[in-house]
Structure 1
Amino acid sequence: MNYIFSFFILLLFINPITSQSEKYKGPIIDVHIHAFDQERNAMFFGMTHPPTLRGETYKGVVSAEEQRIKTFQMMEKHNIVKAVVAGGTLWYDHHPEKILIGEQGDVKRLRSLHAQGKLHALSELSPFYAGMKADNPMMSPYYSLAEELQIPVGFHILPGGPNGGIYTVGMKKMRAYNANPLQMEDVLVKYPRMKVYIMHGGWPYLEDMKALMYAHPQVYVDIAVINWIIPEKEFHNFLKGLVDAGFGKRIMFGSDQMTWPQTIEIGINAVNNADFLTLNQKEDIFYNNAAQFFGLSDEEIKVHKGM
């Protein structure tokens, strides 16, 4: 009798741990991938990523075609059923069912793309690289367009490129002091119907990101790049901070895959390795939150989930 009682007591301790560390194997939406043009983005092809804060380097693919093929191979391997692709017009005709197109640039072109059904997000908007903040007047036409067309904005701040990118890849105007996510606050008040996701989770400004999400329920985050460029423990600390603060329904998986397709897998593993997340929380991060944010239909969700 004592043995049976002890066995059930042991199960009480084991089961919560087992359920939390269980790996998610369902459909995934990656809200942060790049498609590159062979000429315009030539510097990235064949580039070896400088050592990350994990001490890892990655050899880049050598062509735009290889980038597309290997990215979709990785998507197939990990059941990534949908991706928000910056520059997605380059890939859309190959896999229209898998691509949500993110674009930037000329506003007239963006309007035209939207009229053709080929614009699903303004992403990524990155005044950060030009040494500007979110409230720079040059950004106003994009916010107005996003609010008018009711398409989300992906707003890019730190990490901007590789660690030390000012020196290693020529990002001369990038400044860490321009990276605080609270720079979006006046913009959000001015454009209250604009949906925004802060790329890279607003790292490392955890407390300020919590404040912004608390005050503005239309703000989501993606966790792209921080799930492979910083140490996993630091990523987990940041992610746990957002989840514990009550924002688990507004966190979306992203990889920020550029020319290093293996980073998709590393990012997925980093989330699955987070033993403080339940399986349901992982499902929200990997799929449900993005499906809701980007307005996927009930029918498409059922197909993705095999229902």
Structure 2
Amino acid sequence: MRSRRFLTVFAGVATAVLCGTASLPVAASEPAGPVAGRPVIDMHLHAFPMDEFPPGAPACPGDQDVLVPVIDPAEEVDFGAFATCAAPLLAPASATELRDASLAALRRHDVRRAVTEGPVELVADWRDAAGGDVIIPGVAFGARADKPVDELRRLHAEGKLQVLGEVYIQYRGHRPDDARYAPYFSLAEELDVPVALHLGEGPPAAARLPGYEAYRASMGSPFLLEDVLRRHPKLRIYVMHYGSPLVDEMIAMMFTHPNLYVDVAMNNWGFPRAQFHAALKRMVDAGMGKRILFGSDQMYWPGAIGEAIKSIETAPFLDEGQKRDILYNNAARFLRLTLEQVARDHAPRAPAGD
């Protein structure tokens, strides 16, 4: 969800701001084991270092009463005034603990595959630690100094780039159709690599946060993506955070462009649950249920993975088939998994350590 620049600033405010058949576990703590035949694909995971984030920083799941305070515009923002919550998730103490706890959470919730973005070397480390095909490596652009197209092509040839994203250009205040990013979209279409583009909210009170001078909420409009989709009709692309809160605009874009998917990451666990469920229902009711992808946007809180799954499993307006579509089937189709891969994902998995 966020660039490292975001996380540098966010680290200073996190302690106040982000304090088929059978069902998956719904509790965030010590859930039951996964149920065979109900796998999950997480389309939005991060492998971040811990050098810019305080260990123990809390995050509050969105089913708790977390509020953004009213701020007198004449005063400096007091981020200590942000509400905290009774049962926060806590960041691990080290990068190794973050990796191990995140991979353990994936296994606990039967997440068989996870699109994972971060420094190339760190993603490779997570991939090795997870084993198999669990970690699908993503490479970002639009956050800082972007990798040249030739380097991205090389990483793809080496198997280190299977998704191009997260695309962070909204944090630069840039439009998706900015000419400087055209070569990246062209490369993705040429290589048939999916693109994961951030459109949606930044941190609370972003306009008052140091380092966020470039961020513009208006650059989160799904309509800004239209020229890119017109130029690249064969591009596989999903908008992270479904362009929240501009749900109707996103529905209009998905109706017009059949190659456009969305994920529901971060909004499903870090935002007010009523708001997220209303947005999800709006998209499902509009007939877009087959193009909604599950994601956690797990950054520093492995418990977010379970909370994100919980938000789908407890949605009262989804039937079991719709839940399976969002949690697995849609992503399997979008990623073009083979029948053998799908069958392997649905097979029982040996207990950890076997």
TM-score w.r.t. length of structure 1: 0.87
Match of 1:115 in 2: 157
Match of 1:46 in 2: 55
Per-residue Cα deviation, 1:243-300 (whole angstroms, up to 9, x for no partner): 0100100001100000111111111111111011010100000000001101111101
Distance 1:91 1:223, change over 3 A: same
Q: Residues 64-79 of structure 1 correspond to what in structure 2 (within 5 A)?
A: 64-79=95-110
Residue 266 of structure 1: which of 307, 311, 327 is its match? 307
Residue 91 of structure 2: which of 48, 60, 65 is its match? 60
Per-residue Cα deviation, 1:186-219 (whole angstroms, up to 9, x for no partner): 1100111111100011110111010000000000
TM-score w.r.t. length of structure 2: 0.76
> Counterpart of 2:96 in 1: which secondary structure?
helix
Verify the 8 A CA contact 1:52 1:163 in the aligned structure 2.
no
In 2, the alpha carbon distance for the partners of 1:46 and 1:133 equals 34
- Corresponding pairs, count: 284
Distance 1:168 1:260, change over 3 A: farther
> Counterpart of 2:90 in 1: which secondary structure?
coil
Match of 1:101 in 2: 137
Tell me whether 1:287 sits opposite 2:318 in the alignment.
no
Q: Residues 104-183 of structure 1 correspond to what in structure 2 (within 5 A)?
A: 104=140, 105-106=146-147, 107-160=149-202, 162-167=203-208, 170-183=211-224
Gaps of 5+ in 1: 1-18
Gaps of 5+ in 2: 1-19, 25-34, 67-84, 141-145, 349-354
How far is the alpha carbon of 1:69 from its aligned partner? 0.4
- Among all aligned residue pairs of Structure 1 and Structure 2, give the percentage whose two residues are the same amino acid: 39
Q: Residues 195-206 of structure 1 correspond to what in structure 2 (within 5 A)?
A: 195-206=236-247
In 1, the alpha carbon distance for the partners of 2:216 and 2:297 equals 20
> Counterpart of 2:300 in 1: which secondary structure?
coil
Q: Which one has the largest radius of gyration?
A: 1
How far is the alpha carbon of 1:177 from its aligned partner? 1.4
In 1, the alpha carbon distance for the partners of 2:302 and 2:210 equals 19
Distance 1:49 1:123, change over 3 A: farther
How far is the alpha carbon of 1:63 from its aligned partner? 1.9
In 2, the alpha carbon distance for the partners of 1:121 and 1:306 equals 25
In 1, the alpha carbon distance for the partners of 2:101 and 2:54 equals 13
> Counterpart of 1:93 in 2: which secondary structure?
helix
More helix by percentage: 1
RMSD between aligned residues: 2.1
Distance 1:45 1:294, change over 3 A: farther
Distance 1:285 1:51, change over 3 A: closer
